Chain A
Amino acid sequence: MGRKLLLDKAHIEGIRHFDVYRKNGGYSAVEKALKEMTPDAVTEEVKKSGLRGRGGAGFPAGMKWSFLAKPEGVPRYLVCNADESEPGTFKDRYLMEFLPHLLIEGLIVSSYALGSHRTYIYIRGEYAWIVDILEQAIEEARANNFLGNNILGTGFNCEIFVQRGAGAYICGEETALLESLEGKRGNPRIKPPFPAVKGLYDCPTVVNNVETLAAVVPIINFGGEEYAKIGVGKSTGTKLISACGNINKPGVYEIDMTISVEEFIYSDEYCGGIANGKKLKACIPGGSSVPILPANLLLKTAKGETRIMNYESLSDGGFATGSMMGSGGFIVLDEDQCVVRHTLTLARFYRHESCGQCSPCREGTGWMEKILHNLEYGKGKMSDIDLLWDIQRKIEGNTICPLGDAAAWPVAAAIRHFRDEFEWHVNNPVESQQRNYGLAHYADALEITV
């Protein structure tokens, strides 16, 4: 069993409250950082830990922190991105709901490192009840002098504010989040300038995911080098994976990025195998935006190596035969699932969530959805598949923010790996309404010797 750093205390009753959390060793990272370390030393520890952003892109957090511009007389901000809206991802929700003080603790330490005196949590609007949990946690922390003025007598001031989003997926993109936080329409900004130079209210800003900031706590507690020992290569530390789909035990799991995908799906400790004794057909390993992988490419890479649940191994082979770690939304599809229908669902989501600012995404996502709708409901043509490919190619990389890419990748991967299923839908318009295409050659790799 892998070591747990974030969820090790999640099972303790009443851990949501300050007293219990403190009694179980909570807020020791704040004491250590504020009393014994300089802000630069905290940043240095995070750099040493090799912690990578847990929001999806996997950018090294310490590097991001060191990019923060520090002009004199200009306030700096830390913003916690809790706008977790990716279909299939619900790890931050679990973390905030059960361990709100872990996030608050991580935020205080990070604010100290970055010199942010006003720190914001931008939380997804649908997480209404978590707002109350977080605000209560903030109140408790303030009552115990872990927030507010002169924290623990060290002279460091910090306030944390929770801001609710209004139900837009796009506000999870960091610059759109900042726009929304400023009270404007949540349109992504055109980069450069990057938030590290001009972010919230045109001041230098760091935007980090909930899990990234929570991971700062064990890094300070155990030291960056100790943290870096967990995991393989550049994938250090532990990662929360929210597993869902046709598995026996859906839920949030903390893994240490050394276990194989096969173990993660089939071992009883994690997902517990495919539900109802079905076979694995495909899987999206990192949230709906990353490319889907058929079973034969999921468990083993194209080179025949065992695929490990970490950043490097999951993206092995590029987009041709690999995928991405993403935000850790692990969606498993069994043999009864139709890939065309699944792709349509995702396309509908991205069409609905496109902000409408730049033309390829605004027009292209809607177009893809309409074509996929035709294909799914037996009105498709063979040329539609090539057209879809061409549309996604023209969206990808040509948009302001990564939502265009996120909309294009699932479609591209579905066509790349499951083209025969699309063709079957075109050739058998009636039959495809009644039954599923099945497994074909991308069937369960456990039974096919690769």
Chain B
Amino acid sequence: MAEEIKLIKVTIDNITVDVPMGTSILQAARMIGGDVAPPAMCFYSKLKGSGGKCRTCLVEVSKGSNADPRPMPKLVASCRTNVMEGMEVKNITSERVTDARNGVVEFLLLNHPLDCPVCDQAGECHLQDLSYEHGKEGTRYEFKRRTFEKHDLGPYIQLHMTRCILCYRCVFVADQVTNKRVHGVLSRGDHSEIATHIEKALDNDFIGNVIDVCPVGALTDKTFRFKNRVWFTKPVDAHRDCPTCKGKVTLWQRGDEVLRVTGRKDQWGEVEDWICNTCRFEKKHINDWVIEGPTKISRHSVISQGHYLGMKKPTETFRAVHGGRDPKLLMDIHSISEVNRPGIDLSAIPGPATSDVFNAEKKK
């Protein structure tokens, strides 16, 4: 007999949900889903001890529990606070929360270079999504953004320290997934940086997973560097018989060419299984893999725009992929971007997608 798990009631934004004891507020909110789930930049449910650092998931606890109904005086990090019986939480219904979150997004973007046009993460970047939903149009920061000395992390992983938001996820991955951590956080305060002590290459069978967990473009795949934009590539579920990992991956293809291999990510952007370096970096040929079919991307991101021939397209694209929500900002990237036109079927283009294709369309 399985031990009976005690369910407790928690109310988040006036929606009541039954969750098992010991669930964090964030996980409970994710069970409700949609707008209620607070954004999380540093929390990763598969990494023990992660969370609490980025402060984007702050929520207001208006009632502690049935036993102690006092509200919590400060906003709490929902990823590291467990629910109590009868707890009442305010997320988007609290002005304090939206105000604080606004501030946190501004802080996170303060020294971020905003080099999205040349960043490989663009399109699947959590910071982009976050600032799009919770940020402001401009910054009030008038100073030079900080820069770092470059560190070489070996032939597979590219580090852009300027983009890093210090979520510590990659540190936890190295601690918990690989058998030896050689990188960590050096220095203190706003000069903290992810680096290895005295230039070492990150060399471990599973270290490639730091790329998957990185919420921004600080750690990217060197074998995919500047190859293509993620929204031009088509995600395909595939697997292979791998002796080190489960071998269940997502291939990012253009035509028959495999440009990139990543773990399969769920709707919160977390990988389902860790994959090994061989699968990620070495197996870049279509014949290495058994194709299962197109990946269904349930995340709200521009990559979920994947265009397939014969696919039924939603009428209101953004809203459909966004879980019924409208964008928070008035700007729609499709209306201003020259290249990212939904009108063009990428799969129908022979060869790589270049600006000529789009310009030709325009000239017509």
Q: Which residues of A contact B (CB under 8 A)?
A: 168, 170, 185, 190, 351-360, 362-367, 370, 387, 390-391, 393-395, 397-400
Known contacts A190-B80, A356-B192, A400 near B52 by CB under 8 Å: yes
Instruction: Answer whether A366 and B104 are a contact pair too, CB < 8 Å, given A356-B166, A387-B140.
Output: no
Q: How far is the CA of A356 from the CA of B148 in the complex (A)?
A: 15
CB-CB under 8 A from B141, the residues of chain A are 367
The closest CB in chain B to the CB of A169 belongs to: B188
Q: A218 → chain B, closest Cβ, in Å? A: 34
- Complexed CA–CA distance, A395 and B52 (Å): 15
A398 to B60, CA, bound (A): 11
- Do A362 and B166 have beta carbons less than 8 Å apart? yes
**Across-interface contacts of A366 in B (CB, < 8 A):** 146, 189-190
Q: Are A168 and B188 in contact (CB under 8 A)?
A: yes
Q: A358-B52, A370-B143 are in contact. List 20 more A-B contacts (CB 8 A).
A: A190-B51, A190-B77, A356-B166, A357-B53, A357-B168, A358-B54, A359-B54, A359-B55, A359-B107, A362-B107, A362-B189, A363-B110, A366-B146, A367-B110, A367-B141, A367-B143, A394-B102, A394-B103, A397-B75, A400-B53
B189 touches A356 (CB 8 A): yes
Q: Are B143 and A362 in contact (CB under 8 A)?
A: no
Q: Mark B89-104, 1 if CB is under 8 A from A, else 0.
A: 0000000000110111
Query: Which residues of A lie under 8 Å from residue B102 when comparing CB positions?
Result: 394
Contact residues in A for B80 (Cβ distance below 8 Å): 190
Separation in Å of the A198 CB from the closest CB of chain B?
A: 12
Query: A355 and B53 in contact (CB under 8 A), knowing A190-B80, A394-B100, A394-B103?
Result: no
Indicate if the CB atoms of A358 and B189 lie closer than 8 Å. Answer: no
B191 within 8 A of A: yes
Find the A residue at minimum CB distance from B81: A192
Sampled A-B contacts (21; CB under 8 Å): A170-B188, A185-B184, A351-B189, A353-B188, A355-B188, A355-B189, A357-B166, A358-B55, A359-B54, A359-B55, A359-B107, A359-B108, A362-B107, A363-B107, A365-B190, A367-B141, A370-B143, A390-B103, A393-B103, A398-B104, A400-B77
Q: Give the residue name and chain of the B residue nearest to A369 (CB).
A: B190
Are A398 and B103 in touch, CB under 8 angstroms?
A: yes
B227 close to chain A: CB less than 8 A: no
User: Are B104 and A354 within 8 A (Cβ)?
Assistant: no
Q: What residues of B have a CB within 8 angstroms of the CB of A362 in the complex? A: 107, 166, 189-190, 192
Q: Within the complex, which residue of B51, B165, B187, B191 is in contact with A359, where a contact is CB–CB below 8 Å?
A: B165
Residues from 133 to 147 in B contacting A, C-beta threshold 8 Å: 140-141, 143, 146
Which residues of B from 232 to 259 have beta carbons under 8 Å from A? none
**Chain A residues in 8 Å Cβ range of B99:** 394
The residue from A357, A393, A394 contacting B107, defined by CB atoms under 8 A apart? A394
In the A-B complex, the 4 residue pairs with the closest CB atoms: A394-B103, A356-B192, A190-B52, A363-B107
Of B51, B58, B100, B111, which one neighbours A363 at CB under 8 angstroms?
B111
Give the shortest distance, in Å, between A445 (CB) and chain B (any CB): 33
* Chain A CB within 8 A of B286 CB: no
Cβ–Cβ contact A398 & B143, under 8 A:
no
Asked if B187 and A356 make an inter-chain contact with CB atoms under 8 angstroms apart, the answer reads yes
- Residue pair A360, B104 in contact (C-beta under 8 Å): yes
A356 touches B190 (CB 8 A): yes
- Give the shortest distance, in Å, between A312 (CB) and chain B (any CB): 19
Q: Which residues of B contact A360 (CB under 8 A)?
A: 55, 103-104, 107
Expressed in whole angstroms, the minimum distance between the Cβ of A207 and any Cβ of chain B is: 20
Choose among A168, A354, A400 the residue that contacts B190 (Cβ–Cβ < 8 A).
A354
Contact A354 B188 (CB under 8 A): yes
CB of B185 within 8 Å of the partner chain: yes
Q: In the complex, are the beta carbons of B188 and A365 less than 8 A apart?
A: no
B111 CB contacts on chain A under 8 angstroms: 363
Q: Is B362 an interface residue (CB 8 A)?
A: no
CB distance from B128 to the nearest CB of A (A): 16
Contact A359 B189 (CB under 8 A): no
Q: Which of A352, A356, A363, A365 has the most CB of B within 10 A?
A: A363
How distant is A373 from chain B, measured CB to nearest CB, in Å?
Answer: 9
- The reply to whether the CB of B74 lies closer than 8 angstroms to some CB of chain A is yes
The answer on a CB contact under 8 Å between A185 and B108 is no
| Cα of A364 to Cα of B100 in the assembled complex, Å | 13
Inter-chain CA distance A168–B187, complex, in Å, is 11
- Find out whether the CB atom of B189 lies under 8 angstroms from the CB atom of A365: yes
CA distance A362 to B167 in the complex (A): 12
Contacts of A390 in B (CB 8 A): 103
CB under 8 Å from chain A, chain B span 109-154:
110-111, 140-141, 143, 146
Chain A, residue nearest B166 (CB)? A356
Bound form: Cα–Cα A399–B77 in Å: 9
Q: A364-B107, A367-B141 are in contact. Are A351 and B190 (CB under 8 A)?
A: yes
Please, which residue of chain B has its CB at the minimum distance from the CB of A350? B189
Q: Which of B54, B55, B108, B111 lies at the interface centre, i.e. has the most chain A CB atoms within 10 A of its CB?
A: B55
Measured between alpha carbons, how far is A358 from B189 in the docked complex, in Å? 9
Residues of the A chain whose Cβ atoms lie less than 8 Å from the Cβ of B191: 356
